[in-house]
Chains A and B, each alone.
Chain A
């Protein structure tokens, strides 16, 4: 793929705020990222870091009173952050597909999976007849690896196992052949042996249809096996982004380094795991300067004073003064 090709999704300086009685909370602060067609971008971070919020903002599904307070979201060069609810409904599903964590709550228990798939197909592809939509639904079920799609299409969600349900949800997301899929923790509710099947499926589909995928997860293992590039978030900001092998093998930001070291390795047993002391700050108490400075062993006076922006490192970008002029 050419680097010059315009990206499928581009997020520029996105700010999401939650105005409240006790002041405004900034949930996302100056987040910029881009995903090309056929590329899987993994977004990792601890709970509350803002990774799901980024997905929700792109889908136009921010919960009130959350609102986009700044920045732009471009889908194939077209701005989608300022669309009306009605216009956004056409984009969601048609151009952006979504896969959520819990496959049971994403499906309507009262309708067969065939009815739900056909509805989505007919909604987004005008002029498709009932029989055509049904044939396409069977094709989709086949594509996501559900055995016996001719019979399974008339089953209800509860008749499917967790892994199979997640496949149905993926089929739903694919129904209108979207350009971008936002997958929010798609494997978290599943057992390990099923996790591998689902992440393999996402990878295969992304390459075959040249679809851009934003894979939001807290599981570094899933990222390592599925994503092409990875973005690390901390306290509402993007702190590191780069090719997956580089970021995981030689992380640049001290937070990413700590995160990687705290994962118990399968290869060897250590007496004591590396731990990052403390926990991520709450949104109403984000420290001045770099949000990570109170937990960072390499922090200097500058980190407590000024907030670093993303700066180029050897292979990617990291928001840390170590890469621009030092911490003094």
Chain B
């Protein structure tokens, strides 16, 4: 991988608030106020060119919202998202790979049309012949055969469908790919095929990835740097090897301890009590304090800031 120092994407103090209030009449009748869900709260990170940053966390931590903010599907409530200039001098173009390859492909379209859609929409090729050449090339790149272009999505297995999504994402020659749980709907043996394909494409095409996953073992395989999210905030960010060798935030440690590991099963683990609180009513102070083994009074009132450590990690904890 050629990771240069330059940033491909800089995200600065990103916020996203959703209005989840009841309908107007209900609010009047039951005297409820408006309710807001702070899905992403003060999130900052940088993805270096040619690198891979992963966001991990449990459901509801805001990782997918960040993916959607970065690709422009949602608008940020506050903060900035800056893409560096790409090969053309314009800001880097980004594409997205979605989690569910069964829902993200139009079942009524032939695969060649699904892949050609971005080419036609963005007018990247002039003639039909040039479009089919490009589609054939993309199918080959992702390990399908050219004849597969004539088929419909239902004729493919989950892994092959995810290859089609990847081919579609690559059609417009993006330099930046946002991958939202690209393998969590797949079986492990197929997951390995897709992860290998993504690593190969990264090397061959010089892609930069923002990778979203809840699976730490997948994340470890793919990323250079990892940001752990909890209730809309980044609680720890570090180089992959640093994070696995020396997790500093109690939540990161909890995540690492609870992953079932095939090679050294931990049958008598002490299971961690508690669950992720509702993001509608996050706890005061450090939002992790109700589940934290180290929590003290200070954690209930004072929110820890993200502090940089000597090994390049940054951690939001009073005791790290």
* Chain A residues with a Cβ under 8 A of chain B: 46-47, 161-164, 191-197, 199-200, 203, 218-222, 224-226, 248, 258-260, 262-267, 269-277, 279-280
What 3 pairs between A and B have smallest CB-CB spacing?
Answer: A221-B260, A262-B192, A224-B265
Residues from chain B with a CB closer than 8 A to the CB of A259 are: 188-189
Residue contact B220 to A163, C-beta cutoff 8 Å: no
Known A-B contacts: A191-B214, A272-B199. Give 7 more (CB < 8 A): A192-B260, A193-B58, A193-B255, A220-B262, A269-B240, A277-B193, A279-B157
Residue contact A265 to B263, C-beta cutoff 8 Å: yes
Residues from chain A with a CB closer than 8 A to the CB of B273 are: 197
**A282 CB to closest chain B CB, in angstroms?**
9
Residue contact A196 to B271, C-beta cutoff 8 Å: yes
Residues from chain A with a CB closer than 8 A to the CB of B59 are: 162, 191
- Cα(A263)–Cα(B264), bound, Å: 13
Residue contact B259 to A276, C-beta cutoff 8 Å: no
Interface centre among A195, A197, A222 (most CB of B within 10 A): A197
Residues from chain A with a CB closer than 8 A to the CB of B58 are: 191-193
**A89 CB to closest chain B CB, in angstroms?**
34
- Cα(A227)–Cα(B182), bound, Å: 28
Chain A: which residue is nearest B264 at the CB level? A267
Chain B: which residue is nearest A273 at the CB level? B192
Residues from chain A with a CB closer than 8 A to the CB of B220 are: 264, 266, 269
12 contacts between A and B (CB under 8 A): A161-B276, A192-B214, A192-B260, A219-B260, A221-B261, A221-B265, A225-B265, A248-B265, A263-B188, A267-B261, A269-B240, A276-B193
- Cα(A203)–Cα(B261), bound, Å: 17
**A22 CB to closest chain B CB, in angstroms?**
16
- Asked whether B221 is an interface residue with its Cβ less than 8 Å from the other chain, the reply is yes
- Cα(A193)–Cα(B58), bound, Å: 8
Residue contact B262 to A263, C-beta cutoff 8 Å: yes
* Known A192-B58, A192-B258, A193-B258: A273·B195 in contact at CB below 8 Å: yes
Residue contact B262 to A248, C-beta cutoff 8 Å: yes
- Cα(A220)–Cα(B265), bound, Å: 10
Residue contact A47 to B195, C-beta cutoff 8 Å: no
The B interface is mostly helix, strand or loop, or mixed, namely helix
- With beta carbons under 8 angstroms apart, the residue of A193, A260, A277 that contacts B272 is A193
Chain A: which residue is nearest B143 at the CB level? A277
Residue contact A279 to B159, C-beta cutoff 8 Å: yes
- Cα(A218)–Cα(B5), bound, Å: 40
- With beta carbons under 8 angstroms apart, the residue of B160, B256, B262 that contacts A221 is B262
- Asked whether B301 is an interface residue with its Cβ less than 8 Å from the other chain, the reply is no
* Chain B residues with a Cβ under 8 A of chain A: 58-59, 157-160, 187-193, 195-196, 199, 214, 216-218, 220-221, 240-241, 244, 254-256, 258-267, 269, 271-273, 275-276
The A-B contact count (CB < 8 A) is 124
Residue contact A279 to B260, C-beta cutoff 8 Å: no
Residue contact B260 to A274, C-beta cutoff 8 Å: no
Residue contact A199 to B260, C-beta cutoff 8 Å: yes
Residue contact B189 to A266, C-beta cutoff 8 Å: no
- With beta carbons under 8 angstroms apart, the residue of A162, A226, A258, A270 that contacts B189 is A258
- Cα(A193)–Cα(B273), bound, Å: 9
Residue contact B260 to A276, C-beta cutoff 8 Å: no
Residues from chain B with a CB closer than 8 A to the CB of A277 are: 193
Residues from chain A with a CB closer than 8 A to the CB of B272 are: 193, 196-197
- Cα(A3)–Cα(B58), bound, Å: 42
Residue contact A192 to B189, C-beta cutoff 8 Å: no
Residue contact B262 to A274, C-beta cutoff 8 Å: no
Residues from chain B with a CB closer than 8 A to the CB of A269 are: 220-221, 240-241
Residue contact B261 to A224, C-beta cutoff 8 Å: yes
- Cα(A226)–Cα(B221), bound, Å: 25
**B61 CB to closest chain A CB, in angstroms?**
9
Chain A: which residue is nearest B159 at the CB level? A279
- With beta carbons under 8 angstroms apart, the residue of A46, A196, A248 that contacts B258 is A196
* Known A196-B260, A259-B188: A191·B276 in contact at CB below 8 Å: yes
Residue contact B196 to A273, C-beta cutoff 8 Å: yes
**A113 CB to closest chain B CB, in angstroms?**
17
Residues from chain B with a CB closer than 8 A to the CB of A222 are: 260
* Known A196-B260, A196-B269, A275-B192: A218·B216 in contact at CB below 8 Å: no
Residues from chain A with a CB closer than 8 A to the CB of B261 are: 221, 224, 266-267
Residues from chain B with a CB closer than 8 A to the CB of A199 are: 260
Residue contact A46 to B189, C-beta cutoff 8 Å: yes
**A42 CB to closest chain B CB, in angstroms?**
11
- Cα(A162)–Cα(B58), bound, Å: 12
Residues from chain A with a CB closer than 8 A to the CB of B266 are: 225
- Cα(A191)–Cα(B216), bound, Å: 12
**B113 CB to closest chain A CB, in angstroms?**
24
- Cα(A259)–Cα(B187), bound, Å: 10
**B226 CB to closest chain A CB, in angstroms?**
12
Residues from chain A with a CB closer than 8 A to the CB of B218 are: 264
**A277 CB to closest chain B CB, in angstroms?**
7
Residue contact B260 to A272, C-beta cutoff 8 Å: no
Chain B: which residue is nearest A268 at the CB level? B220
Residue contact A224 to B260, C-beta cutoff 8 Å: yes
Chain A: which residue is nearest B244 at the CB level? A266
